Chains A and B, each alone.
Chain A
Amino acid sequence: MRKRGELTKADILHIARLANLTLTDKEVEKYHGQLSETIKYVENLDELDTTNVKPTSHSTNVTNVYFEDGTENTRLFSQEKALKNAKNTKNGQFVVKRIME
């Protein structure tokens, strides 16, 4: 595996694509510098041996929460209400980009 902390400009373009962001050349330049610096900084965690440490995802250890089936009427949206904030609708539905040619 490639050594960490060495972000290339190709990496910046790759991760921008993963985040679905379009960058200008100037932005690629800027974020390359800034993200490289941040990545280098976070690697101070390498000093810590965490081999036998369990990860924490919930800090007070809440697990297995169940919700009864069904929904209260106050939480139901009419079709009209659900579409109210959308800019592009057709026949009471959201218009999305074609994903298959």
Chain B
Amino acid sequence: MDLFGKSLIELQELIKTKKVSSKEVFDYFAKRSKKYNPKLNAFHTLLDKPVTESSATGGSLYGIPFSMKDTYNTKGVQTTASSRVIDDYIPPYNATVYERLVKAGAVLLGKSNCDAWGHGSSTENSDFGVTKNPWNNDYVAGGSSGGSAAALSAYLSPFEIGEDTGGSIRLPAAFCGVVGLKVTYGLVSRYGCIAYASSLDTVGPMTTSVHDMAAILEIIAGNDPYDATSTFTKSFSYLNTLDRKVSGLKIGVPKEYFGEGIDPEVERKTKEALGIFEKLGATVKEISLPHTKYAIAAYYLLVTSETSSNLARYDGIRFGNDRNFFAAEAKRRLMLGGYTLSAGYYDQYYKKAQKVRTIFREDFDDAFKDVDLIIAPVSPTPAFKIGEKINNPLQMYLSDIHTVPVNLTGIPSLSVPIGLSKEGLPIGMQIMGNHFQEDKILNVGYQFEQETNFFDVIKKGREKYKD
């Protein structure tokens, strides 16, 4: 049977009705991944056979293969965070998110490329080479979860688990034309995820439909005693609210996200998408998030401080190699963080940035008094060329200008495709809700998908990789 382009729900049904075996499904994706990986460099590790046993009765994901960003501990399977510092590390334990997916019957296919330690917006900071954008191999796939987005776009994996600290799920999802969710901070356990910046790191799925997103999120969301920052709520449901109508919904559009530097095509496509919501009976109004221009500064102060502390543990004694194996971007961030946390500077930098976070939360709180959701572009531009920004770290940091405010405030945001640029590169928009309103943003994303099929972006992205 030809499995090409089958959605998660279709694969589940085929396995359940025994039209296809779980082994056939695994082999199908393993073969495709091996075939296209030399071209795209989406994966570090590809497994020849499953490393876990799915129980015969099966959970809801029985027999469904998936890949994860290489920042999750997977027992017995090499985990590198895309860094040479731990290029020979074999985890002795499992991340909670992996454990939950395996318990539901899902089968690990591989580990996906990313910027080393999550430090980057293009995967050019991976110590194992850049991931190519499947739409045009001269362009970046976005980052840091770029391997995951590229794999989904070329249909090498039915779903992926990424990680979003400042846009690392949403930016690559937008650049590769797939669906990505940055969850509310604490919704999904971070236990066993290699830490980048602990007060901002979030674990989220990347998929090729909103339905798949809701199905995966139901499995991985909820309290974990091993992550003290996780939500107290045990479980969540998302599938049963996807069908709600969006009429009467109030959508806010922040004017600051359409300022200087925005690509006219990104602006036009976003406005067209907003038009669809108006057609569906929602109202769209301009709002202001007045401190947007301070987001990057606050974000980089927080993440470099926290990453310098988190990466202090890599000393090559208990596992991995010594600190000479850190590459340029990690060194820059470790030094900047060391500086901002050093004696006499803590109040002026780290604490100041934490106070600015409060200001951002107030901005968004005010906005959500007036509107139900906020919609904006994920990035001011479509994907950029490989090599274009790599020699200018500050320019690279500014790629995240529309994604980091969401991390500073901790709210959820869903990135979905809204069309293609003239050069044929995907453009994405993000749907933001208040804390723990994943049900609402998934519902709205699902209604948009029903109406537009994301302008066939996901379907077109796969065509080149059909055979």
> Which A residues have a C-beta under 8 Å from some C-beta of B?
1, 4, 7, 11-12, 15-16, 18-23, 27, 31, 34-35, 37-39, 41-45, 47-48, 50, 53-60, 62, 65, 67, 75, 77, 81-82, 84-88, 94-96
Contacts and interface: CB of A to CB of B under 8 A. Distances in A.
A84 B92 contact: yes
A77 B356 contact: no
A66 B351 CA distance: 26
A52 to B, nearest CB: 9
A31 B335 contact: yes
B410 A60 contact: yes
B298 A45 contact: yes
A18 B349 contact: no
B430 interface: no
A62 to B, nearest CB: 6
Contacts of B336: 15, 35, 38-39
Interface string B292-321: 011011101100000010001001111110
B339 A55 contact: no
A46 to B, nearest CB: 9
Interface stretch (B109-117, B263-271, B357-365): B357-365
28 contacts: A15-B336, A15-B342, A18-B342, A19-B312, A19-B331, A20-B315, A21-B334, A21-B335, A34-B332, A34-B394, A38-B300, A38-B336, A38-B394, A42-B349, A44-B297, A45-B298, A45-B352, A54-B355, A54-B358, A58-B229, A59-B199, A59-B435, A60-B435, A62-B231, A65-B229, A77-B93, A82-B92, A86-B318
A21 B331 contact: yes
B410 to A, nearest CB: 3
Contacts of A86: 317-319
B118 to A, nearest CB: 18
B159 interface: no
Contact of A31 (B230, B332, B352): B332
B317 A53 contact: no
B225 interface: yes
Contacts of B185: 58-60
Contact of A44 (B294, B349, B351): B294
Interface of B: 88-90, 92-93, 184-186, 199, 225, 228-232, 291, 293-294, 296-298, 300-301, 308, 312, 315-320, 323-324, 326, 331-332, 334-339, 342, 344-345, 348-349, 351-359, 361, 393-394, 397, 408-411, 435-436
A88 B326 CA distance: 20
B229 A62 contact: yes
Contact of A37 (B319, B394, B409): B394
B319 A48 contact: no
Query: Sorted from nearest, which 5 A-B pairs have the closest CB atoms?
Result: A59-B410, A85-B319, A55-B354, A50-B355, A18-B338
A58 B186 CA distance: 9
Contacts of A82: 92, 318
Greatest chain B CB density within 10 A among A27, A35, A94 is at: A35
Contacts of B297: 41-45
Nearest to A88: B317
Greatest chain A CB density within 10 A among B184, B315, B358, B409 is at: B358
A81 B394 CA distance: 42
A81 B90 CA distance: 11
Given A38-B332, A58-B410, 5 more contacts: A42-B297, A45-B294, A48-B356, A53-B359, A86-B319
Contacts of A87: 316
Greatest chain B CB density within 10 A among A18, A39, A43, A86 is at: A18
A88 to B, nearest CB: 8
Contact of B359 (A12, A50, A88): A50
A35 B357 contact: no
Contacts of A41: 296-297, 394
Nearest to B348: A4
A84 B228 CA distance: 28
Nearest to B86: A85
A50 B324 contact: no
A35 B326 CA distance: 17
B335 to A, nearest CB: 5
Nearest to A40: B394
B359 A19 contact: no
Contacts of A57: 199, 354
B357 A55 contact: yes
